[in-house]
Amino acid sequence: MPELPEVETIARQLRGLVVDRTISEFESRWVRLTEPEPAEVVGARLRGRRISDVRRRGKFVVFDLDGGEALVVSLRMTGKLLYGAADVDERYVRGEIRFEDGTALRFSDTRKFGRMAVIDAATLDRRGALPPGPRSRRPLHASLGQEPLARGFTVTWLRALVRRRPRAAIKVLLLDQRAIAGIGNIYAIEALWRAQIHPLRKAGSLRADEIARLHEAIRWALRKGIRLGGASPSDYVDARGNKGRMQREFQVYSRAGEPCPRCGRAIVRTVVGGRGTFHCPRCQRTPRA
């Protein structure tokens, strides 16, 4: 599943490919692609609009449109945004954005969990703001947390977060998109290994030096992912259809039984919050019950 580095890679590539192009047509080939809005409504809002920028917010690809709205794309498990002549299997194309110059951006998604929405762009910049109402009914992009590569993500900020959520397992907290936006399973695992923190440690039990290490480790893992064009353990490809290289550089993710790169002890796989997790039993000590 694409996380911050993968989505950042796609957004940077698309910025060079589709900015200043004007949308002539939007076609949906999957009834749930734009839910709860009908595809015709989304199409009407996209038609004639010029793309002024492409960026990332959390794990969403954001196409800023002239006029203050934005097209937000959630890739979820297997979504791919492919521009131009990239090799696409037509069976999995769920949506297509055609431009006035005759080129097109296609959304391919084998598992069909990906979604598209046209929203007021200002919604995305409200950090972690939680409007009233039940959480489950609000779209995720309406309440995204702090960007971990932004200037506002400081050691002080992270310390305040763990104080607000002291009982949460640290790995579960790192994956909460309403707290920090963009970290997923892979980069949480890699960051906790680098910071030498067990994934099940209660956030409130982290010492000041551990919080500082974790802050550094989160940025290290994400920046490394971006530098390597993202990770392709299975489906991920960038906007040109190429795989990333981060999967060759994992320290512990998907390396159960292999030696820890720091101490040589065999990496262990466990399940935390329903997600497969990898850690070194020597470098990342199990918390006392």
Q: Which residues does the annotation mark as catalytic?
A: 2-3, 59, 275
Would you say 118 and 69 are in contact if contact means Cβ atoms under 8 Å apart? yes
- Whichever of 116 and 280 has its CB closer to Zn ion, that residue is 280
The CA distance from 68 to 134, in Å, is 27
CB contact set of 274 (below 8 Å; sequence gap of 6+): none
Closest approach of Zn ion to the CB of residue 5, in Å: 23
163 binds Zn ion (CB under 5 A): no
CA-CA distance, 246 to 139, in Å (whole number)? 30
Question: Measured from the CB atom, is 144 or 267 closer to Zn ion?
Answer: 267
Taking CB under 5 A as the criterion, the residue among 45, 260, 277, 278 binding Zn ion is 260
**Would you count residue 285 as binding Zn ion (CB under 5 A)?**
no
Least gap, CB of 102 to Zn ion (angstroms): 54
Distance of alpha carbon 68 from the chain centroid: 23
Q: Is 283 in the site for Zn ion (CB under 5 A)?
A: yes
State yes or no: residue 195 binds Zn ion (CB under 5 A).
no
Q: Report helix, strand or coil for 177.
A: coil
Residue 174 within binding range of Zn ion, rule CB under 5 A = no
The yes or no reply on residue 158 touching Zn ion (CB under 5 A) is no
Count of residues engaged in binding Zn ion, rule: CB under 5 A: 7
Q: Please state, in angstroms and as integers, the Cα–Cα distance from residue 55 to each residue in 27, 83, 129, following that order.
A: 22, 16, 20
Nearest CA among 114, 146, 168 for reference residue 4: 146
| Contact residues for Zn ion, defined by CB under 5 A | 260, 262-263, 265, 280, 282-283
